[in-house]
Structure 1
Amino acid sequence: RSGNGGKVRGFFQGGSTRVLDELGARIPEGVRALLAVPGLGPRTLGRLYRELGVTSAADLRRVLESGAAARLPGFGERKARQLLEALEQVERQGDRIPLGYALPVAEALAAELEKLPGVERVAVAGDLRRGRETVAGVELVAAAEDAEGVADAVAALPPVEEVLARDPAKVSVRVEGGLRVELRIVPPDAFVPALHHATGSAAHIARLRQRARQLGLEVDERGIYRRSADGGAEEFLPVPDEAALYRHLGLGYIPPELREDRGEIEAAERGRLPRLVETADLRGDLHVHSRWSDGAASIREMAEAARARGYRYLAICDHSRSLRVAHGLEIEDLRAQWREIEELNRHYAEAGIPFRILRGAEVDILKDGGLDYPDEILAELDIVVASVHSHLRLDRAAMTERLLAAMENPHVDVIGHPTGRRLGIRDAYEVDLDAVIEAASRSGTVLEINASPERLDLGEEAARKAAERGVMLCIDTDAHAPGQLAQVVLGVTVARRAWLEPAHILNALDLPDLEAWLRLPKGERARRGPGSVGKSGDSPPPGR
């Protein structure tokens, strides 16, 4: 993948990009910052700077809205409109950073902090621990007796560019890439309550405090305790872990992803919290790419990476022929790919290796809702993922009809990244998502939670609504390289925030159960619903 998405990722992860570095000596800082606007490349930006004096986001908005940019030779109204929409997208997002870019930074920092002398434990907290799709910064909690010494050591770490604030138990810094990090340092015996409090959400914590008072208790970042009758002495209750804190309040353990005051406390009271899906529940990935289209690795390399994760199957879903920019496969190429997959599967079978590569394709949904391969080709595939990659600006009615038409095709198993959004880069296209979910329920079509860091699509609210309507979902990485298979954790996070259990997830099925499910006519899948095949069929709808 390349383009602005790559520039944004590079900026978040390293504080620089090759393009920025090359422009550094020639263009002011304020202008270079505008490269974060999707679709605004260095050549176009250079023209706007030289010919219209654009040096800030306000200048950019002015020349786009006034028509001055559109009047430039080769620019035009359409490009100006697209750039204005992209600028508005960046402004709406503000300083928030997608989960998939902030989490690796947070985990790397936590690992570095744990190496410091005197630090016993470090954990990610805040929005990041709860798995929100975008975050304003990174919150960490560390257990150490010498808070001041740890704060001094943190300020000297190589990624730290600036100390923003500091007090005896907390330090805020800015690291490379501009990400703000706040570290709370607490005594080891206060680590659990401090982590719980810092995780939030504020609404969840407020509800717990209310419940504690009803039980004659208090709960805060120091722990859970009972005051004496005169309001003086405090008797702290033991909290070796967060589960103990919830037990003191008469509740089952509530995982961080559910702590949003969206019914989790009531569910914990009734013993009806879901057994949330975990990464270890997944048996394979149903949407990855190879070098046959726009991937960076061979099918065998992707398969071996999947096997290293403990998977039992992998669906190779390279792009179809109309997506020329991604080297989509013509039918003869697809058949040649099948022969390679057959040879690899024969190798695994003869070696007694319990692993299978599925013949799949990510088939473009055309503008009229038709598919990029004929039905006779789709019928020969093990799994068909249908996705929208073009004509993203259709009106709501047309886009909705487009997706509904695709779902009515008996060979379409999965709708890939159903809203087309790219976090921080592109808004979702206009579509009636309720109608899409209803059609998926009626037709037996699976909806994907795409775990790519820039997608996380479906989002948590739509995924929860889909599961409540009896729609099966799958968690796929859309991986284009072996290392990207690990990004599945991001999709699992979305699923957990959606209250999903293994029974709601297609690729939590073992291979024989998956193949049996895929052999069912779609109408039969719709009648049976999630959990109808495999071992986990008794799970209730999420939140019930």
Structure 2
Amino acid sequence: MTNKKVAAVLNETAQLIELTGGNPFRARAFSGAARTIRDLEESLQAYVDDEALQEIDGIGEGLAAQIGDLFARGSFDLRDDLLNAVPPGLLDVLRINGLGTKRVRTLWDELDITSLDDLEAAATSNQIQTISGFGAKTESNILENLRKLRRYDAQRRYADVYAPAHTLRDVLAESTNAPVALVGAFRRQVPTLKQLTLVTTADTPDVVDALADAGYDDVEAARDAHPPYVTNTVDAALPDGFPVVIYTVSDNVFGTAVWHHTGSADYREAFNDTYGPVPEVADENTLFADTNAPSHPSELREAVWTDALDTLSASEALITVEDLRGTIHNHTTASDGAHSLRSMAEAARERGLSYIGICDHSQSLTVASGLTPDEVRAQFEAIDALNAEYAEQDASFRIFKGIESDILKDGSLDYEDDLLAAFDLVVASVHSGFTMTEAEATERIIRAVSHPATTVLGHPTGRLLLVREGYPINHRAVIDACAEHNVAIELNANPYRLDLDWTHVRYAIEQGVLISINPDAHATDELDNVRWGVAAARKGGLTAEHCLNAKPLEAFTAWLTTRSSVAHAA
């Protein structure tokens, strides 16, 4: 790890302390250490190896230990705690040149800006200049710097690319009057992408003109060599700088080109070994028919499915957003959410759902205003009152009393057992203590899963895509424990998480473990995050049958009742 990287992490920690209203002297200590390390001529690694970090001015025992952890595992406890205390997307906002922590905090407080998309939407609609201290010029600079930042980033989350990808496809289709298909990792709904790839039968000059007329950047046609079935290649970029590759092909091979450039290399090889060479056809469905192969859903055309090509679920059998009947893991203003209990419940009802689980943070997560036992009991009363109100309206809707209980370092759950037993459901999650080895972290989670109160294992690795790797666990051992104790596993649908990773969904299904697609919503609009969780779940082959919150209200209630009685009897 370079001095520059260490300095960046320490400076980020200082910003996070300020963002969360922490001790300003502590923040200055981190920012001062960052400056010192950045200017250090010698490699910091040598100081770590010699256990001599405290010889550097401004680095005491505590900072030395944290820097040591940073070299050992890429982070340290305080940083992990702070990362869990703010919306994941706020870190991206902090990276905008000219936006210090005070201004980011103001944007968060005044306009609920917690991501680059939020910031761009506010800037383009002239909302930022309405805040005291922010003028039109500042707003313009923010927008310009935001787009520069995005231009230099190498990867994107699938959710961030989704809308501009479809816009680009529509622009090309309407301008050229030719078939256009989104292919590659995007069509396979991979959680993070390095480029966007499309295939079209349009003539290359028409593609170039269409992109130029629509204002796309870096448009350049014709490489010397082209991949299979491709006549020509056009390079371009989305407005934020994300690279785009467009393959122009002949009409008679459009279907084959779409198939070839959708599946991974391992999938294509396995397909050819199983069904023989693919024909050159104009329609992808014809390719499957001519080879006597099932029409494999694009999401499943990955290496992990190459041993099951004949048994892959049909696309229509995979889970959809419409299959979901409830939403389980959600937060309110009682902890760190933006909206009230009533607002969250009403938002769920408006989306046609039959139930919502309210799972605010538990008491140990003080940075997220975790609930004390007295606050839990007060929330119980509020839920009872609102459920009674819905019952009077003859509404087939229910709020479940839940909690996101911290998994403590020894694997125990936050709160005493008698209080835990009073919840309808408990989502058990790790939010701190990321320093464990794989064996230690796995044992910790298995102990939490074995607790009779645990209903769902929340975001199993704690990862933040393109921000932080999750803690290491033996996924199969954890899934086996969930199967033994009849505990569901969350596929956290926040596009920054998508945790459980889709690659482990298949094993969970095989072991009979239900997957719960949870938005982890901290605001009403975040209930819609389930769309990203569904995309990831489909890659794992999930069907409604194996999804916990695809159960209707009556079946879900029965499952909770049966699971609880068996767990506590054991």
TM-score by length of 2: 0.72
Tell me which moved more, 182-191 or 306-315.
Answer: 182-191
| In 2, Cα distance between equivalents of 1:461 and 1:326 | 30
Mapping 1:377-416, distance limit 5 Å: 377-416=419-458
| In 2, Cα distance between equivalents of 1:513 and 1:375 | 26
Percent identity among equivalent residues?
35
| In 2, Cα distance between equivalents of 1:467 and 1:288 | 24
The answer to whether structure 1 residue 283 and structure 2 residue 325 are counterparts is yes
- Please state how far the C-alpha of 1:304 moved relative to its aligned partner: 2.9
* Structure 1 counterpart of 2:429, one-letter code: S
- Please state how far the C-alpha of 1:460 moved relative to its aligned partner: 2.1
Equivalent residue in structure 2 for 1:153, among 203, 206, 210:
210
Mapping 1:39-50, distance limit 5 Å: 39=12, 47=32, 50=35
Equivalent residue in structure 2 for 1:107, among 147, 162, 166:
166
Equivalent residue in structure 1 for 2:476, among 434, 442, 448:
434
Question: Per the alignment, in what secondary structure is the counterpart of residue 362 of structure 2?
Answer: coil
Question: Per the alignment, in what secondary structure is the counterpart of residue 261 of structure 2?
Answer: helix
Residue 349 of structure 1 is matched in structure 2 by 391
Residue 174 of structure 1 is matched in structure 2 by 237
| In 2, Cα distance between equivalents of 1:136 and 1:187 | 26
Residue 422 of structure 1 is matched in structure 2 by 464
The answer to whether structure 1 residue 134 and structure 2 residue 119 are counterparts is no
Residue 413 of structure 2 is matched in structure 1 by 371
- Please state how far the C-alpha of 1:326 moved relative to its aligned partner: 0.6
- Please state how far the C-alpha of 1:286 moved relative to its aligned partner: 0.9
CA pair 77-440 structure 1, distance change in 2 beyond 3 A? same
Residue 73 of structure 1 is matched in structure 2 by 58
* Structure 2 counterpart of 1:488, one-letter code: V
Q: How many residues align?
A: 467
Superimposed CA distance per residue, residues 30-65 of structure 1 (whole angstroms, 9 cap, x where no aligned partner): 989985899455678975775455599x98878877
Alignment root-mean-square deviation, CA: 3.7
The answer to whether structure 1 residue 459 and structure 2 residue 517 are counterparts is no
In the alignment, is the contact (CA less than 8 A) between 2:427 and 2:457 conserved in 1? yes
- Please state how far the C-alpha of 1:165 moved relative to its aligned partner: 5.6
| In 2, Cα distance between equivalents of 1:112 and 1:356 | 44
CA pair 272-113 structure 1, distance change in 2 beyond 3 A? closer
Superimposed CA distance per residue, residues 171-195 of structure 1 (whole angstroms, 9 cap, x where no aligned partner): 2223354421222345677554433
* Structure 1 counterpart of 2:262, one-letter code: T
Tell me which moved more, 281-290 or 366-375.
Answer: 366-375
In the alignment, is the contact (CA less than 8 A) between 2:464 and 2:470 conserved in 1? yes
CA pair 397-218 structure 1, distance change in 2 beyond 3 A? closer
CA pair 265-430 structure 1, distance change in 2 beyond 3 A? closer
Mapping 1:110-125, distance limit 5 Å: 110-114=169-173, 116-125=174-183
- Please state how far the C-alpha of 1:203 moved relative to its aligned partner: 2.3
In the alignment, is the contact (CA less than 8 A) between 1:48 and 1:69 conserved in 2? no
In the alignment, is the contact (CA less than 8 A) between 1:443 and 1:523 conserved in 2? no
Equivalent residue in structure 1 for 2:156, among 80, 97, 105:
97
CA pair 523-348 structure 1, distance change in 2 beyond 3 A? closer
Superimposed CA distance per residue, residues 443-489 of structure 1 (whole angstroms, 9 cap, x where no aligned partner): 11111111111211111232222221222221111111222222212
Superimposed CA distance per residue, residues 143-189 of structure 1 (whole angstroms, 9 cap, x where no aligned partner): 54x5423322314545x443466568432223354421222345677
Superimposed CA distance per residue, residues 388-435 of structure 1 (whole angstroms, 9 cap, x where no aligned partner): 111221333433332222222211101101122222222222333332
| In 1, Cα distance between equivalents of 2:432 and 2:468 | 13
* Structure 2 counterpart of 1:139, one-letter code: T
| In 2, Cα distance between equivalents of 1:455 and 1:142 | 33
List alignment gaps of at least 5 residues for structure 1: 1-29, 89-93, 225-237, 527-544
The answer to whether structure 1 residue 316 and structure 2 residue 358 are counterparts is yes
The answer to whether structure 1 residue 505 and structure 2 residue 562 are counterparts is no
The answer to whether structure 1 residue 295 and structure 2 residue 349 are counterparts is no
Tell me which moved more, 458-467 or 78-87.
Answer: 78-87
- Please state how far the C-alpha of 1:382 moved relative to its aligned partner: 1.6
| In 1, Cα distance between equivalents of 2:463 and 2:178 | 40
| In 2, Cα distance between equivalents of 1:425 and 1:462 | 21
Question: Per the alignment, in what secondary structure is the counterpart of residue 481 of structure 2?
Answer: helix
Tell me which moved more, 68-77 or 38-47.
Answer: 38-47
- Please state how far the C-alpha of 1:141 moved relative to its aligned partner: 3.2
CA pair 32-308 structure 1, distance change in 2 beyond 3 A? farther
In the alignment, is the contact (CA less than 8 A) between 1:254 and 1:264 conserved in 2? no
Q: Which has the higher helix share?
A: 2
Residue 512 of structure 2 is matched in structure 1 by 470
In the alignment, is the contact (CA less than 8 A) between 1:129 and 1:256 conserved in 2? yes
- Please state how far the C-alpha of 1:117 moved relative to its aligned partner: 2.5
| In 1, Cα distance between equivalents of 2:491 and 2:390 | 29
Residue 269 of structure 2 is matched in structure 1 by 206
- Please state how far the C-alpha of 1:494 moved relative to its aligned partner: 2.4
CA pair 64-338 structure 1, distance change in 2 beyond 3 A? same
Question: Per the alignment, in what secondary structure is the counterpart of residue 117 of structure 1?
Answer: helix
Residue 18 of structure 1 is matched in structure 2 by none
- Please state how far the C-alpha of 1:265 moved relative to its aligned partner: 7.2
List alignment gaps of at least 5 residues for structure 2: 16-27, 77-152, 224-230
TM-score by length of 1: 0.75
Question: Per the alignment, in what secondary structure is the counterpart of residue 328 of structure 2?
Answer: strand
In the alignment, is the contact (CA less than 8 A) between 1:124 and 1:140 conserved in 2? yes
The answer to whether structure 1 residue 306 and structure 2 residue 293 are counterparts is no
| In 1, Cα distance between equivalents of 2:11 and 2:254 | 41
* Structure 2 counterpart of 1:138, one-letter code: L
| In 2, Cα distance between equivalents of 1:427 and 1:339 | 39
Superimposed CA distance per residue, residues 179-221 of structure 1 (whole angstroms, 9 cap, x where no aligned partner): 21222345677554433222121222234445564xxx643xx
CA pair 137-212 structure 1, distance change in 2 beyond 3 A? same
Question: Per the alignment, in what secondary structure is the counterpart of residue 471 of structure 1?
Answer: coil
Superimposed CA distance per residue, residues 330-378 of structure 1 (whole angstroms, 9 cap, x where no aligned partner): 1222222223323332333333333222211101112222221222222
